[in-house]
Amino acid sequence: METQEPPASEPAAASGGTGTLYRRFVEPLLRSDDGADAEQLSRLTLTALAQASQRRHWPLVEGALAGLAGELQRRDPRLQQSLFGCRFANPVGLAAGFDKNGVAAAIWDRFGFGFAELGTVTWHPQPGNPRPRLFRLAAERAALNRMGFNNEGARAVRRILERQALPAPGQRPAVLGINLGKSRVASLELAPDDYASSLELLAPLADYAVVNVSSPNTPGLRDLQEESQLRRLVERLRRLPGCPPLLVKIAPDLEDDAIDAIARLAYEEGLAGVIAVNTSQSRLGLEQRVLTATGRPLAEEAGGLSGRPLRARALEVLRRLRATAGPALPLIGVGGIDSAETAWERIAAGASLVQVYTGWIYEGPELVPIILEGLVRQLDRHGLRTINEAVGSGLPWS
Ligand SMILES: Cc1cc2nc3c(=O)[nH]c(=O)nc-3n(C[C@H](O)[C@H](O)[C@H](O)COP(=O)(O)O)c2cc1C
């Protein structure tokens, strides 16, 4: 029998131990809605990563992390970019919400990421919503979550980051953003002060900060996307001494006019960029899909939808932002990216950087090198010298 070699141009997925372990032990748990509890799995992973981050200089841990980096990192000068004063080794980042308290801040580069966004962090520590609050929609490669900004609060997060003795901002192998949200107990009127308290404390540790006004799980939060409210909030934060580059993260459920207003505001207020998008309150064609855990259709469930069903809308919002803001405003594309092709599509549509969350969970850690290798191959095919030339080029995946 003939053995078939994969064609030379196909993605050479990392074939090391991490990928194999993930495929053997984790992936089977993700194949159905009611396999392992999604939040429990994340928690277990984070507990292990927190230990590794804290003890990363211990010889055994150092060796294991070097092995991980050897498998997952892809260094290529063509993928580097400087944006809003930060140097990104590559354009693929971990989206906010996975490492909410920054417990693994020191080791996200070992997973191949060019940047990681920690948080959402609120001023007050808060437990979030009652469980279950994170649901897998395995067949759709999607998730529904109504976590509600569970996090330990800005003071504790500062201590967690300090304990890890991170290199100073600007000197880290992976850029670290800190995503900030409104505490549940803070009124909308006092929201600027609430965000400002967190930013004051965390600014010295952040390469960039994100004003999250788009989570669907904090009542009233998304009202802060309204132009005058957002302007008041951003102006308050930008006045703080030592304010890092400030970005705004927006929802996919905004009307075109509201997207345009935010693009203009970003320009006028000198924001470093816009992140599009957060999870969706629309059910994106899945209104009648029954959640296995509760027996109710998604139309009747609270929470935000992420993953593959969000992809088309996320791309649409990004295109709209790019059309209104022009090429000068850096955009970060997130929502439903789970392959090199979907990352390329977002970059070609105007994203300087992309982030992954749900796709990274389903595909496993190999997704990062698969995307990075795929991007480099596209640059070659289109005769581009750097990833920056691909941003907003409209060039197709080929
Ligand atoms: C379980 C879960 C928790 C999240 N928590 C946050 C969060 O705290 N802050 C935030 O800005 N986005 C949060 N997000 C949204 C993601 O950062 C991302 O914008 C969204 O999931 C779309 O990307 P994806 O389709 O790759 O998951 C969360 C997403 C998930 C699935």
Kindly state whether residue 4 falls inside one of the protein's structural domains.
no
Whether 11 maps to a domain, the answer reads no
8 in a domain, yes or no?
Answer: no
Share of the chain above pLDDT 90, in %: 87
Tell me how far the alpha carbon of residue 269 lies from the centroid of ligand 1, in angstroms: 25
Query: Is the pTM here over 0.85, yes or no?
Result: yes
Q: Counting atoms of ligand 1 from 1, which one is nearest the CA of 151?
A: 8
Q: What is the mean pLDDT of the chain?
A: 94
Distance CA 97, CA 177 (A): 12
Is 3 domain-assigned? Answer: no
Say if ligand 1 is within 6 A of residue 358 CB: yes
* pLDDT above 70 as % of the chain: 96
Give yes or no for residue 198 CB within 6 A of ligand 1: no
Q: Is the pLDDT of residue 18 over 90?
A: no
**Residue 7 falls within a domain, yes or no?**
no
Q: How confident is the model at residue 15 (pLDDT cuts 50, 70, 90)?
A: low
What separation in Å is there between the alpha carbon of 59 and the centre of ligand 1? 34
Q: Give distance in angstroms: CA of 380 to centre of ligand 1.
A: 32
* Structural domains of the chain, count: 1
Q: What pLDDT does residue 37 have? A: 86
Q: Which atom of ligand 1 is nearest to the CA of 249?
A: 11
Cα–ligand 1 centroid distance for 357 (angstroms): 6
**Is residue 10 domain-resident?**
no
Residue 25 predicted with pLDDT over 50? yes
* Per-residue pLDDT reduced to its tens digit, 89-116: 999 999 999 999 999 999 999 999 999 9
pLDDT band at 11; cut points 50, 70, 90? very low
Residue 2 located in a structural domain: no
Q: Is 126 in the pocket of ligand 1 (CB under 6 A)?
A: no
Is residue 26 situated within a structural domain? yes
Name the residue at shortest CA distance from atom 19 of ligand 1: 278
Residue range(s) defining the domain that contains residue 125: 17-390
Quickly state the pLDDT bin for 5 (edges 50, 70, 90). Answer: very low
Cβ atoms of 368 and 340 closer than 8 Å: no
CATH number at residue 299: 3.20.20.70
Over the stretch 164-221, which tens digit does the pLDDT of each residue have? Answer: 999 999 999 999 999 999 999 999 999 999 999 999 999 999 999 999 999 898 988 8
Q: Is the pLDDT of residue 128 over 90?
A: yes
Over residues 342-376, the pLDDT tens digits come to: 999 999 999 999 999 999 999 999 999 999 999 99
